[in-house]
Amino acid sequence: MTTYGIIGAGHIGSQVARAVIGLGHDVVIANSRGPQTLDALVADLGPQARAATAAEAAAAAEIAVVTVPLRAIADIPVEPLAGKVVLDTNNYYWERDGHIEALDRGEKTTSGLLQEHLPTSKVVKAFNHIGAPDITTDGHPAGSAERRALATSSDHPEAVEHVTALYDALGFDTVDVSPLSESWRVERDRPAYVVRQNRAELVENLAKAPRMI
Ligand SMILES: NC(=O)c1ccc[n+]([C@@H]2O[C@H](COP(=O)([O-])OP(=O)(O)OC[C@H]3O[C@@H](n4cnc5c(N)ncnc54)[C@H](OP(=O)(O)O)[C@@H]3O)[C@@H](O)[C@H]2O)c1
């Protein structure tokens, strides 16, 4: 059993919480407004979940998940996440996040920005190109024709191994698009972004992604 510290309790954070609780893990979950605003969610998630501040969730995490609007990653606590695997679900929506020049110019990646913010953590891309409800409803057994594939990417092989095992437990195949400098291939508006695809289709979509959109 693992304790997941989840920073961000919206569409994706709450659904990743449901998913890992369904696998028997514990969750400490945080938002920006404070744990007292998460009573309804925690009641819904059940006894394996508790609400906390972002700093407390980071400290409690054996595995962390950062799932906030990209503009908020500067607020993510650094020291309590040192040395830990940190799953990054974030995408760049300049309409929501404001323009980030290094992304607009194709010089950096969204997950690379989180890795820069958390230099001693093991940042790994996860769940960024699947709609939140599908995380708990679209899994299928290994080898079945319906099995969907999801991408991951990291500069840390141990973090890729964790996400690959988690995807598998939830019923998804994995395509590794490491290192993080290649992770733009699964960012917003690329062919692999939020479409239902099997492993072969995902490999093909990642290969034909344009660097600039
Ligand atoms: N929705 C999807 O299906 C989907 C799929 C894949 C990836 N994503 C990406 O995943 C990320 C999260 O998406 P979402 O749809 O879950 O967003 P969302 O529903 O808007 O939830 C965002 C969460 O982040 C929290 N938050 C914001 N600023 C924070 C801060 N400074 N410290 C701690 N928590 C903070 C919010 O808390 P408060 O409410 O208290 O402010 C809220 O709980 C985004 O980057 C999004 O692009 C979304």
Residue 110, pLDDT score: 98
Give residue 98 CA to ligand 1 midpoint distance, Å. Answer: 15
Query: What is the structure's pLDDT at 213?
Result: 83
User: How far does residue 8's CA lie from ligand 1's centre (Å)?
Assistant: 5
Q: Which atom of ligand 1 is nearest to the CA of 37?
A: 40
For residue 89, pLDDT beyond 90: yes
pLDDT at 184: 98
User: What's the gap in Å between 69 CA and the centre of ligand 1?
Assistant: 5
Strand order in the sheet with 172-176: 49-51, 26-30, 3-7, 63-66, 85-88, 122-125, 148-154, 172-176
Instruction: Choose among 184, 26, 19, 6: nearest CA to 87.
Output: 6
Look at residue 185 and tell me whether its pLDDT is greater than 90: yes
How many whole angstroms separate alpha carbon 9 and alpha carbon 40?
11
Residue of minimum CA distance from atom 47 in ligand 1: 91
**pTM summary value:** 0.98
Is the CB of 10 inside a 6 Å radius of any atom of ligand 1?
yes
Looking at residues 103-114, what average pLDDT do you find? 98
Residue 34 alpha carbon, nearest atom of ligand 1? 40
Average of pLDDT values for 150-177?
98
Question: Which of the four pLDDT bands, split at 50, 70 and 90, describes residue 160?
Answer: very high
**Residue 22 predicted with pLDDT over 90:** yes
Q: What are the Cα distances from residue 29, in Å, to 25, 35, 56?
A: 13, 8, 9
**Mean pLDDT calculated for residue range 116-133:** 98
Report pLDDT digits (tens) over 46-83: 999 999 999 999 999 999 999 999 999 999 999 999 99
Instruction: Report the C-alpha gap between 113 and 133 in whole angstroms.
Output: 26
Expressed in percent and rounded to 5, the helix, strand and coil fractions of the chain are 40, 15, 40
Say yes or no: CB of residue 131 within 6 Å of ligand 1: yes
Is the Cβ atom of 128 under 6 angstroms away from ligand 1? yes
Residue 88, amino acid: D
Q: How confident is the model at residue 114 (pLDDT cuts 50, 70, 90)?
A: very high
Over the stretch 190-213, which tens digit does the pLDDT of each residue have?
A: 999 999 999 999 999 999 999 998
